[in-house]
């Protein structure tokens, strides 16, 4: 029975000081060859957050309320995906609008067409990210776009959407450029990252090399103010140079980082 007298069988690793240099899960300690339970559960919690984010839904009522406060018209759209399992297995369907959504866009009045930019908000792989970050980001971004003199089409709220669905939307509403705000694939370190994709001359069939991407927009990542600044810069440049993607270089200088 002597083997079961020790209550704490966890062996700490004597190099936990190295944790200062990385967020990787080092110096976890061990019991036998196994990871101690405390660390196992901490991993499982991070994975649970990621899984919940993948299956989260856009909070349409909240988003509509927030978007209306910006005094912008909003249209609600849906991809041709039926449910989340199909979304995960059929990226092609997540890139196409359903027929009802196409009709909605075709019925938009002339006054909403041929704008400089259409802002699209899609759930992507983390609706959680969009529920959290859409309004705060737009709160900083819209005044910048207004100052820059850009005209804005109705905001499109898309359920079960992928990045490329923005091409179809932009084409139907005849916008010069799209700004797609979309939930990124959750990682263990963050389940609420928003991505922003800018595409000049949106056309169905465009591929990723014609887009500019700004990633990791969240409170502990790229924060709202620099994100909004970067997005506005890239949109202006895309419209000025009439291109986007690999040929549009991101030379944005964050004013808050400039010391004069």
Partner 1 sequence: MSYQHTIQFRTYQFDDLRTLLAKATPFRSGDALAGLAAATYEERVAAQLALADVPLKTFLQEAVIPYEEDEITRLIIDTHNQAAFAPVSHFTVGELRDWLLSDDADTQTLQQLAPGLTPEMVAAVSKLMRNQDLISVAQKCEVVTRFRNTIGLKGRLSVRLQPNHNTDDPKGIAASIIDGLLYGCGDAVIGINPATDSPQAVIQLLHMLDQLREQFDIPTQSCILCHVTTALQVMTKAPVDLVFQSIGGTARTNSSFGIHLGLLQEAYDAALSLNRGTIGNNVMYFETGQGSALSANAHQGVDQQTCEVRAYAVARRFSPLLVNTVVGFIGPEYLFDGKQIIRAALEDHCCGKLLGLPMGVDVCYTNHAEADQDDMDNLLTLLGVAGCNFIIGVPGADDIMLNYQSTSFHDAQYVRKVLGLKAAPEFEGWLQRQGITNAGGQLQPVGNTHHLLTYQAG
Residues that bind partner 1 (CB under 8 A): 11, 13-15, 18-19, 21-28, 30, 32-35, 39, 43-44, 46-47, 50-51, 53-54, 88-92, 125, 185-189, 191
- The residue among 2 and 23 lying less far from partner 1, judged by its C-beta, is 23
13-22 contacts, C-beta under 8 A, 24 or more apart: none
* CB of 185 vs partner 1, minimal distance in Å: 6
B/e letters for 69-86, b = 16+ CB within 10 Å, e = fewer, are ebeeebbbbbbbbeeeee
* CB of 179 vs partner 1, minimal distance in Å: 24
Ligand-binding annotation for 163, yes or no, is yes
- The residue among 65 and 92 lying less far from partner 1, judged by its C-beta, is 92
* CB of 5 vs partner 1, minimal distance in Å: 18
DSSP lists the bridge partners of residue 222 as: 217
Which segments within the chain are labelled E, that is strand?
74-78, 117-122, 155-159, 177-183, 194-200, 211-217
**Helices 37-54 and 127-147 sit at what angle, rounded to 10 degrees?**
60
Q: Are 198 and 250 in contact (CB under 8 A)?
A: no
* CB of 116 vs partner 1, minimal distance in Å: 31
- The residue among 125 and 163 lying less far from partner 1, judged by its C-beta, is 125
* CB of 10 vs partner 1, minimal distance in Å: 12
> Which DSSP state fits 79?
B
**Between vectors from CA 141 to CA 260 and to CA 238, what angle results, nearest 5°?**
85
* CB of 132 vs partner 1, minimal distance in Å: 17
- The residue among 52 and 247 lying less far from partner 1, judged by its C-beta, is 52
Ligand-binding annotation for 39, yes or no, is no
Short-list 16, 12, 225, 32, CA closest to 138? 225
**Spatial CB neighbours of 77, under 8 Å, sequence gap ≥ 6:** 97, 101, 104, 105, 156, 157, 158, 159, 161, 169
Ligand-binding annotation for 184, yes or no, is yes
- The residue among 28 and 142 lying less far from partner 1, judged by its C-beta, is 28
- The residue among 127 and 235 lying less far from partner 1, judged by its C-beta, is 127
Binding-site residues for adenosylcob(III)alamin sit at: 163, 184, 213
Binding-site residues sit at: 163, 184, 213
């Amino acid at each position: 029975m002597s083997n079961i007298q020790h209550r704490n069988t966890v062996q700490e690793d004597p190099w936990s000081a190295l944790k200062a240099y990385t967020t990787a899960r080092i110096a976890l300690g061990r019991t036998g060859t196994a990871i101690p339970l405390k660390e196992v559960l901490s991993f499982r919690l991070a994975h649970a957050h990621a899984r919940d984010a993948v299956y989260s839904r856009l909070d349409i009522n909240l988003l509509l309320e927030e978007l209306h406060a910006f005094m912008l018209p909003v249209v609600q759209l849906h991809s041709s995906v039926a449910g989340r399992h199909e979304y995960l297995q059929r990226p092609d369907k997540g890139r196409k609008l359903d027929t009802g959504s196409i009709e909605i866009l075709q019925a938009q009045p002339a006054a909403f067409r041929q704008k400089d930019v259409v802002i699209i908000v899609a759930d992507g792989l983390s609706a959680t990210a969009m529920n959290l970050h859409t309004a705060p980001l737009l709160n900083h971004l819209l005044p910048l776009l207004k100052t820059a003199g850009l005209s804005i089409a109705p905001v499109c709220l898309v359920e079960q959407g992928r990045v490329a669905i923005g091409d179809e939307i932009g084409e139907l509403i005849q916008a010069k450029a799209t700004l797609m705000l979309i939930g990124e694939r959750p990682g263990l370190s963050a389940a609420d990252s928003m991505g922003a994709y800018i595409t000049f001359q949106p056309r169905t069939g465009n591929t990723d090399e014609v887009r500019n991407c700004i990633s990791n927009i969240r409170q502990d990542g790229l924060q709202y103010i620099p994100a909004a600044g970067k997005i506005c810069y890239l949109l202006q440049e895309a419209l000025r140079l009439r291109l986007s993607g690999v040929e549009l270089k991101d030379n944005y200088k964050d004013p808050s980082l400039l010391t004069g």
